[in-house]
Structure formats: C-alpha cells, structure tokens
Structure 1
C-alpha cells in the first residue's frame, strides 16, 4: 500500500470495521433516525373518534357533518385504517430488528399482544358498565324499554349464556361491538407485519383474497347467545387494517405505499364526488341502485353489488381508500393537521383508546337522555358538544398523567425531511 493510498480518507459507506475486516450491514439494520410524529395520524384518529361519538347519538343535528353522509364509508372504516397506520409505525421497528437477527421475536410480538389484551380489558369493562347504565336507567326512569335496547333482551332472557358469551366476545351489546374485531386483528398483526415488511405485495394480495372469500361466502363469527353474527367480520375488515399497516411500514421509512400522482389524485377525487352525488341526487341514486340490483340478479359478486357494512363490501372499502389517498397528498392537509387549532383533535387521537371508551359511555348516556326528555329539542344540540369536550378532557388528563420523556435532539439541518413524501 502506497503512502498516498494510506492517507486517502475512506469513502462514505454503510460499513463497520471489525478486526480489520469490512462488514456490510443488511439494509434493514442501517441506523435510522426516528422521524418527527406526523400530525395527520393523531388528527384524523381524533376526527374519526368524534364522528363515532356523534353517530352513536342518533338524531342529533351534527350527524350531517360526518363522512357517512358524503359517501359509502363512515367513521368505523376511518378508525380501522388509521389504527392500522399507527400500528405499522409503532410496531414495525421491533419486527424489523427480529428479521435482521438483532432482536428477539418475543420483544417484537408481545407489545402487539399486550395491546390486544388492553383492548380486551377495555371491552370487558365497557360491557359491564353499559349493562349497569341501562339497568339503572330502567329503574330510575321506570321505563322497561331501556332493558330492551341494543341486544339487552338477549342478556335478560338468558343471563347465564350471556355471561359465558361476554368473555369470549360472542355476546356483544349494540354500540359496544367495534373492539372485538380490532382485538382479533391485533392478535394477528405480527404475521401481517412480517409479511408486510418482507413481502408487501404478496401480503396485500393475500389480504384481498381473504376479503374476497369472506364476502363471497358471508363468513363471520356467530354470536352466542343469539342467532346473529359479529357486527364487523374480522375476515373482511382485516383488509383495511392490513392496508393501514402497509402504509405505516412505508411511512416509517419516509416512503409512500402508493406514489403521489396527479392523475391518480384526480381519479380518486372524482370517485369521491361521484359517491357524494350518488347519495345526494335522488335520480342518480335510483338509477345506480337499480343497476346494482340488476347486476346482483345476473350473478355479480356480492362484494360489488352490496353496501353491507359487516363484510366491508367494495363500495365502502374503495370509498375509504380513495379518501385516504386524497387526504394524504396535498401539503395543506398536513398544515391543517399540524395547526394549533387542531391540537385538541390531535390530543384525542393520541389517546384514542381512552377517548373511545369514555366516548362510548358518553354517547349511550346521551341516548338515554334523548329518550327521557324527547320534548327538549335543545338537548341534541347541547349534549354532543359537551360529550366532545368531556372526551378532550379525558385525553388531557391522560396526557398529564403520562411520564414525560426527554425531548428528542434536533435533527441536523442538512438532513432531508423523511416525511416529505409520506402518506
């Protein structure tokens, strides 16, 4: 080796010098600086939670502002896709470390299953509290109708079977029936994350295939006691959750699952406007509904000719995915989500489980009040905002009780923004 060669500075590379040997790191093991928290994640989760709160108090004037009045999907689809994105961002690094051989499988899986257990405990607590709430309302207001609402008739008809069904999630009370599907998906999330990291397109194809089979054969989990089925079929709803996971995995790396494209943006926007017109223009609605019925009679797949929520049929899932894509592209959406005015919604989205649980209790309490005093027409105007304010207060209290972490160090000014093209 000549002197000139020895004095030459090493070229920048992803290598380490170990015992004079150059070892190349696998791509996934390369050090990654954690990106700042994208405000859109928490903001839209907060928006979805508030829409769920409003929709769970039927016959209030704020319902016209929720997404179900503008297209085929509603806040439930938004909640699941945003939860999938958040899970992909939060839990994919541990899976990556295990895949690269520098972490334990237990450390990658247990946080996901721990979250599923947390969801399960919230579901149990909510079920018991709602049973108590409506039992109290029946006695306090001398109205037996309160013991007949939301599948409570089944509970009183066969309480032993109901108490058996509650812990195995087969007995579900109306408006307390979203978390069971989410629990199942979180239990299966490690497999979806492994597939999403190593074989993303194959994982998406498998998810679509499961969605197709679930809808074509109406596969769902039966209720016990009772003759019904789960409100949301896990086999169908896994699709929108898996899409969210894939978006979150790419987002963590500063990438997009679907590239930003002007033609695709306008195509998605056009579809959203068409869905809005379908809902709002009676002549168009009659024409399209008639055509859907004709296609169904000719043997067209059920997933394409129905708006069934339990099986997340194509009009619903396509509407939500188009909405997600449109909202992920413009910079102004990120600016709105990160604005100080949006801070309450971001805070509620950050503590989504607590806000969802308390929001469910607030909404069902609002239903009771509406029935007790139907002549008080001002109540539907007042109670939803009060419930929203109470939900924000729950999130604020949670934020105050959370141990404060040291602020992250500022990134070098020369580093590219990893979220520039994230969506």
Structure 2
C-alpha cells in the first residue's frame, strides 16, 4: 500500500534538489503543503476557489490529509530516533514537539482574538466575535483563558492542533507498541474507532458542552493508520498490503467517488443536474466530527492511488511551483498558523468590502502568495544558519538554480496577483 512512500527521511526544511541525498520523500511535503493551502481556502466561507480543492472530488478534505501525513511523519522521525537513540531520547523529542504545538496554539489564539477585537471596534461589526467564536472570551475571559489552556475552548479554526497534541502526547506508547507488534496498535485503534461510532463517545468543549469539531477518539484511527504505514519499514513485520490489485481497486474507488462528489457539487449550483446517490450516501459522509467511514474510505483510496500515480523520483517534484508548495509542507506548523490567521483576515476583508468573485480570487491569491513567500523565507533563514539542525544542513545545499526557479515562480505569482487586483479595482 504505502511501500512506494519512502520513510527514510528527516522532515524539517529541505530542498527538492536534495531528494536523493537526504532520502526525503517530497510527495509527503507536497501534499502536506497542498493541504495547508486548501485549509486556508476552505476556511473562507462561500469561497469560489473552494470548488477546486480536495473536497470537490472526494468525500474527505484537507483535514484527512493533514492528520494522516502527521501520523506518517511522526512515526518516520520518532521511529528513527527510537531505533538510533533509544526510548528516552525519542520521548524527549516528542514532548518537545508537543510543547511547540501548545505554544503555537496559544499564540495563534492571542493574535486571532486581538485581530478580531480590533476589526470589531474599527468596522463596528459586532458579529465578528460570534463568527470566530471569541464571544465567550470577551464575556468571561477569566474562564475562557483557563479552558483554552486546557484545550477545552476551541474558537473557530483552532480545533485541529488540540487533537494533534493529544495524539503526540500518547505517541511514545504507540511507538513502543509498533516496535513490539506492528499490527497491534492498528487493531486497538480500529476497535476504539468502531466503539466510538457505536456508542457516541466524545469529549465536550467549552462553553456549551458541545462535541469537539474533531473527535479525537475517532480521528485517532486515521493518525494511527498513518503512523503504522510510516513505521512499517522499521519493523520486521511488514504490512501485507503490497498486492497488485490494491492500487487498481483504489483508483476505481477514487474515480467513482470523484464522479459522485462532482455531481453533488454541480447539483448545488444547478438543480436540474442529477446528484448521484446523494440520498443514499449523504448521511454516511456528513459526520466529519467522527470521521464517517465513507470519508475514511474515500481518503485511503485517494492516498493509495496517488502514491502509485506519482513516483517518488517524479520530475514534477522538481518544478518551481511544486517546490514552493513543498516548502509550505516542510514548515507545516508555521504555515498552518499563518493560514488560520489569513483565513480570518480574508473573511473580514470580504465582509467589510465586497464578496464578489474577483475580490474572492484576489484574497485567495494574496493569501497563497504570502504563505509560499513566508515558507521560502523560512527555508532561507534555516539555510543561513538561523536554526542549527540536520535539516538546516540539508537546506544549505540547495542549488542556486533551484533558488532562482523559486524566485521566478514567486515573481510570476506576484505579477498574476497584481493583474487580478487591478481587475478588481
């Protein structure tokens, strides 16, 4: 299944030109970067560009991509640390990452809340606080802050990092289970997933004791699937998934789902167009909070099909545009937090100025440009010695040709944005 995805890599920042030397599988960075761009686009309500993101051709969306790749990369990186440095060193690295995620989560909330409060006062729009879920913070900050620190208060868009922290919090135990018996964590995780769907288990959030937007008891299954696939090459018990029929089945399922989902999308715009199997399938894919089984099947089929359609050594990964997206995936935490803030800013800009299609496209393009530009700057910062790590050493070897290509791609994107902005104006 995922044998075509090489795990022998360190996933920080690194250039496409160093693929062979570093052992990176840049497809992971590419699709994680795409998922971050899609999350930014999908978070802006009624955004016309959301019709060309993943959710337009699959029952799943960018959240599934993010969680799966997070599990895969965690098993790759910390599995290697477990093999080479031992359990204590691997655990220390894992909890250091949890702390980074926690700090990023809190700081993102602070910036988001400050920005929304400023926009509320400046634009005299009292609905912003409720739209972005910080009205409770304004009404009772002494309670909301405590709940935020306990991960029980999750304003708009700040609901995926908490489950990631929880998953990494128990990851040392998962790693030990993977090392002892590779299929065991997958079996236990699958049982928990089924029981969660059957009995409706879910944690509650502040302030109304509502269910979490991402139920960690359900979404852990996708994370563990990714972790199992990522750790498999380190294990002496490989997964029996390398079957010739599997990619063919996955491609067939992915195509069928795409046809069905596109028919639903067209039906939403034109009632006369038939929505294939909507009455039968819609109830089975709508429960995103609990990772509805058809969402899971749709994502896994698409992941397997993609892994076999795009080779690890594909020349596409060396193209300038692909490398810009790869940079985003290599700096996933920073770009994710930036994307959240840009989604909020984009929604405020659209509601305060106008919401027509040219304006939507201008906001989308500006956000994407800023995300890829920041990712490129982070790569250059690491390459200049701003962060002393093995990944910075890999980045330092990036050829001047690759850098010129990236700069050329950014310039073309800026030119396109300027043209679109003039058309809006």
Deviates more, 1:58-67 or 1:39-48: 58-67
2:307 to 328, 333, 337: 328
Deviation at 1:127, TM superposition (A): 0.9
1:49 and 1:181 map into 2 onto residues whose CA distance is: 16
CA contact (8 A) 2:285 2:295 kept: no
* Aligned partner (choices 337, 340, 356) of residue 336 of structure 2: 356
- Equivalent residue for 2:45, pick from 58, 67, 77: 58
Query: What are the residue-to-residue correspondences of 1:75-224 with 2, within 5 Å?
Result: 75-97=62-84, 103-224=85-206
Greater relative contact order (CA < 8 Å, ≥ 6 in sequence): 2
Which residue in the other structure is 1:307 paired with? 286
Q: CA RMSD of the aligned region, Å?
A: 2.6
Gaps spanning 5+ residues in structure 1: where? 1-32, 98-102, 294-304, 410-423
Q: CA deviation at 1:256?
A: 7.4
More displaced stretch, 328-337 vs 308-317 = 328-337
Structure 1 residue 160: Cα displacement: 2.3
Residues 44 and 346 of structure 2 are in contact (CA less than 8 Å); yes or no, is this contact kept in structure 1?
yes
Residues 217-275 of structure 1: per-residue CA shift (max 9 Å, x gap):
22222112222121111111111111111121135689975644442212111111222
When normalised by structure 2's length, the TM-score is: 0.79
Distance 1:96 1:347, change over 3 A: same
Query: 218-227 vs 50-59, which deviates more?
Result: 218-227
Per-residue CA deviations over 1:362-402 (Å, capped at 9, x if unaligned) read 11100000100125542201111111111112112211222
2-structure distance, mates of 1:407, 1:164:
40
Deviations 1:33-71 (A, max 9, x none): 996111111111111111111111122221111111112
Q: 2:247 maps to what in 1?
A: 265
Bigger CA radius of gyration: 1
Partner of 2:354: 374
| More helix, by proportion | 2
- Preserved CA contact (<8 Å) 2:60 2:299: yes
Aligned-partner Cα distance in 1 for 2:334–2:222: 23
Q: Secondary structure at the match of 1:166?
A: helix
Report SS of the residue matched to 1:310: coil
Distance 1:407 1:139, change over 3 A: closer
Q: Distance in 1 between matches of 2:290 and 2:22?
A: 36
CA distance in 1, matches of 2:165, 2:131: 25
Q: Which runs of 5+ in 2 are unaligned?
A: 1-19, 268-272, 386-391, 398-425
- The answer to whether the Cα contact below 8 Å between 1:154 and 1:226 also exists between their aligned partners in 2 is no
User: For residues 408 and 394 of structure 1, what CA distance do their matches in structure 2 show?
Assistant: 17
The CA distance in 2 between the partners of 1:220 and 1:362, in whole Å, is 30
Partner residue in 1 for 2:279: 289
Separation of aligned partners in 2, 1:291 and 1:357: 34
Q: Is the 8 A contact 2:59 2:294 kept in 1?
A: yes
Between the aligned partners of 2:394 and 2:339, the Cα distance in structure 1 is 31
Q: Distance in 1 between matches of 2:234 and 2:395?
A: 19
Deviations 1:296-318 (A, max 9, x none): xxxxxxxxx45311111101111
User: What number of residue pairs does the alignment pair up?
Assistant: 361
Structure 1 residues 356 and 292: CA distance shift in structure 2, 3 A:
closer
The verdict on how the C-alpha distance between 1:252 and 1:385 changes in structure 2, with shifts beyond 3 A counting, is farther
- How far, CA to CA, are the matches of 2:194 and 2:278 in structure 1? 23
Alpha-carbon distance, 1:95 to partner: 1.9
1:48 aligns with 2:46: no
Shift of 1:290: 3.6
